[in-house]
Structure 1
Amino acid sequence: MPRLSNTYPPKRLATNIGEACRAARVEAGLTQEDVADRVGIATEVYGRLERGNMTPSVPTLRKVCVVLNLSADAALAIDKEAKLPPRPPATESGSDEGASAEHRRLIRRTKRLPRRQLRVLGIIAGMLGEKGAGPSGEATTSAEEEARS
């Protein structure tokens, strides 16, 4: 095993971490917002991390590695070829891992809504699902449906 030098430049470390995180994120098909949300940090902070403009704390780096299924050895440029075994598919019913970026964004925004607004959104979604969509993609009302009959 090669001996590590004590003179490793912090900027180079930050750059290596950022490059490894970006590559793993792109491979996973996630957006920066997806990763930041799952790690529990601001999207802007994660963006700075990916650009190599900051070095994360050890707990944050661990969370990022878990979310991205990224080897810490690869992130820290100790072994750039280090790979973790593929993660089994999520079976959690509330998981958004198989959703498109647009769906994940909608899920994140929905989670932030106050309870009252969430109830209203649920009613609207139910109405859209029951009545179907009209030619323009908008929900049709019962009067419109009767007029078409």
Structure 2
Amino acid sequence: MGQPSTGKLAANVGEIARESRLRAGLTQADVAERVGLATEVYGRLERGRMLPSVPSLRRLCIALRTPSDTFLGLNTGEVATWVAESSPPEYDEVPELRRLMRTLRKLDGSQLKLIGLVAAALQKR
């Protein structure tokens, strides 16, 4: 599954930015000025067409008085669904298996084939 969908993250950041801006009674130009972005760039961010850089996200949090966790969709006490869906399966695996996987990633094709044969033989025991 890989990393979280950039599109979903951008949409969440934009939605939260818009809601926070309206709640604060600010215009897009007001927020753009406070964050140090062109109004057009801030508008794209709010429409979910782009993600802010980390420094811009920090300034956005300050300008809109909104925690970064809210922008990132992590404010519910649980990991957001799009994060949970995209987490690598190895996070749920035991440490021994993660170590083995790191080692296996360094092997070439013939070495992997041999390991596969050994594993198959062990499984039959």
TM-score (norm 1): 0.49
Q: 2:28 aligns with which of 20, 32, 39?
A: 32
Which structure is richer in relative contact order (CA contacts within 8 A, separation 6 or more)? 2
Q: Aligned partners of 1:31, 1:46: CA distance in 2, in Å? A: 11
Letter in 2 for 1:17: V
Deviations, residues 118-148 of structure 1 (Å, cap 9, x unaligned): xxxxxxxxxxxxxxxxxxxxxxxxxxxxxxx
Report the residue type matching 2:6 in the other structure: P
The structure that is helix-richer by fraction is 2
Equivalent residues in 2 for 1:78-93, closer than 5 Å = 78-79=74-75
Q: Paired residue for 1:17?
A: 13
Give the distance between the partners of 1:79 and 1:55, measured in 2 at CA: 18
Where 1:52 maps in the other structure, the secondary structure is coil
Q: Number of residue pairs matched?
A: 77
- Superposed displacement of residue 40, structure 1: 1.1
Mind listing any 5+ residue stretches in structure 1 that lack a counterpart? Answer: 82-149
Letter of the structure 1 residue corresponding to residue 26 of structure 2: L
Deviation at 1:79, TM superposition (A): 1.1
Percent of aligned positions that are identical = 52
* Aligned-CA RMSD value: 1.5
Q: Is the 8 A contact 1:73 1:80 kept in 2?
A: no
Shift of 1:7: 2.8
Of residues 60, 63, 68, the one that matches 1:64 is 60
TM-score, normalised to structure 2, is 0.58
